[in-house]
Homo-oligomer: A and B are copies of this chain.
Amino acid sequence: MLVEQAITSADKLFLQLRNDIVEGVIPAGQKLSENELSTTYQVSRAVIREGINRLESCHLVERRANVGARVVALSATGLVELYDVRESLEGMAARLAARHMSDDEIDELFALLTEHHSTAKDGETYYQEAGDVDFHYRIVLGSKNQQLIQFLVNGIYHLVRMYRVQLGMAGPRVSTAYDEHLQIVKAISNRDEELAEMLMRRHILYSRNNIQTKLSD
């Protein structure tokens, strides 16, 4: 789906670290010792530093000069802030997708939805995980806005996923989400930019409220 091939060893390390952080193998808030990582992953500190720099670009770690890097801490306010940004950017993505997606791409999007809807009947977890992600990715890519794609795909989505994984969000909202997705695609199909943006924003707002209630448990 999204080919992200590693060329240098810094690439490989970055991808592994990012995954370990998102999945919680390296817990949120933990200090990242360069020496420790260097021996753990069997690469020089230069590679480690390069990797940490890139993680900082993704907002997954925070660095302070002469002190070091820590994995970001997850908090309720952090989640709210993240979803506000996401609502804004993905709303714009939906608007631009309605403007720029080809008819073929829209057809594929319809096909994707029905496919996911049918498979969700059996094991409902699949849709929530991969299906939802896939849907949002296609909209974002459909915007054809490189800047927007960068921000969301290489930045925000990993943080969103980190919240989802570490707060244990696999929950329901499957059937209702499907309907919301369908309405969004219809709006895009009708080239109704205004509606597409509005529906996407509400969809994310609902999603956020859903997570927030779980957070206060």
Interface residues of A (CB under 8 A from B): 7-8, 11, 46, 49-50, 53-54, 56-57, 59, 65-66, 78, 81-82, 84-85, 87-89, 91-92, 96, 145-148, 150-151
Contacts and interface: CB of A to CB of B under 8 A. Distances in A.
B57 A56 contact: yes
Contacts of A54: 53
23 contacts: A8-B65, A8-B66, A46-B46, A50-B53, A53-B57, A56-B57, A59-B150, A78-B146, A78-B147, A81-B145, A81-B146, A81-B147, A84-B96, A84-B147, A84-B148, A85-B89, A85-B92, A85-B145, A85-B148, A87-B92, A88-B88, A88-B89, A151-B151
Most buried by B among A49, A53, A54, A78: A53
Contacts of A89: 85, 88-89
A82 B87 CA distance: 17
B147 A7 contact: no
Most buried by B among A49, A54, A57: A57
Most buried by B among A78, A87, A146: A146
Stoichiometry (number of copies): 2
Given A50-B53, A56-B57, A85 B151 contact: yes
A181 to B, nearest CB: 21
Contacts of A96: 84
Contacts of A88: 88-89, 91-92
